[in-house]
Amino acid sequence: MPASIDPLAWAVLSGMALATGITLVAVASARRTPQLADALRALDAAPGTSAGTHDPGEGIGWDSRLGRWAYTRAHLPVSEATWRRLQLSDRTIGDFLAEKLILAAGGIAAPQLAAAAGIVLGVRPGTIPIGASLALGALGYVWPTLRLRRGERATHDDARLAILTLFDLITLERLANQSAISSLHAAAELSDTLVFRRIRLAADRARLEQRAPWADLDALSGELDLPEISDLVDVLQLDEQGAALAGSLRARVRELRDAQLLREKLRAQRDSEAMTIWMVIPSLVLGALLIAPPLLRLLGSG
């Protein structure tokens, strides 16, 4: 955009963009009567269906409604990996998409508001506000995904530690002469963390349907990308064969803790090796400063 643009035209364009954004937010916030076909499709959908049919989550705030509208109506994509990270972070798709849209809108609007303030102060905006709006809007849209991906390792570690604690609690319940399923129910009731809550919901659903919860827990293991839940299922199923369940639980949790400790040691070693690179750079710079004068004298004398 040339620097000689009419300030009135710039103000009109900024006002149109702002009015469009307000209109979109108002439309997204309005309550809608659900369509019968969508409601029947949601009732027929089985839990744990494939991508594109995930539950966007509940919420009564305008941001939650905006996120649900973006997922169900605007069909903004959410990959399986992102959905799994959201499950482990105890967040909904609606909340995630609402954050992306709000940050993107804020990134687009910030340079325009700064340019409008400049017009009021007598400074003519050039092409920089438009480029900055596009760049900040794109950054605001991808920033929640980057932040979610960066915290994935810590979230996985917390979930693994919760499962190991669940192993210990089930072992204690088993030593109190409880059955495998009763031990699972009693142990899952002792905490309200994400893993305990999801396991408790799967076990309660299986109990209401009067069946064993092993298939639900295996599906939950794949959904959260936590193979430790499948290990727990494999051990608990030994109760049907009359095996010593408490000893098997203690042995398996010992193996899982050893594997977790090994991962921590390898991670610490990688971090230490990464730090040595930054420790070597000052030494190389100092060595270059010490060697440079003799080399320059030799080159000058040659």
pLDDT at 1: 43
First vs last C-alpha separation in the chain: 57
Q: Which two tokens stand for residue 157?
A: 């570690």
Contact 2, 39 (CB under 8 A): no
Residue 63, pLDDT score? 65
Alpha carbon distance 230, 219 (integer Å): 9
User: Both tokens of residue 119?
Assistant: 């017009």
Strand positions, DSSP E, the chain: none
Give the model's pLDDT for residue 76: 77
Of 70, 43, 45, the closest CA to residue 56 belongs to 70
**Which run of H or E residues covers position 184?**
helix 180-188
With 0.75 as the threshold, say if the pTM is over it.
no
Domain ranges in the chain? 7-150, 155-257
Question: Residue 89 in contact with residue 121, Cβ under 8 Å?
Answer: no
222-239 pLDDT tens trace? 888 888 888 888 888 877
H helix and E strand count, the chain: 12, 0
The pLDDT score that the predictor gives to residue 2 is 44
What averages of pLDDT result for each successive group of 10 residues across the chain (302 residues)? Answer: 55 69 65 58 48 57 70 76 80 82 84 75 66 82 86 83 87 83 86 87 88 88 85 80 72 83 84 78 82 80 62
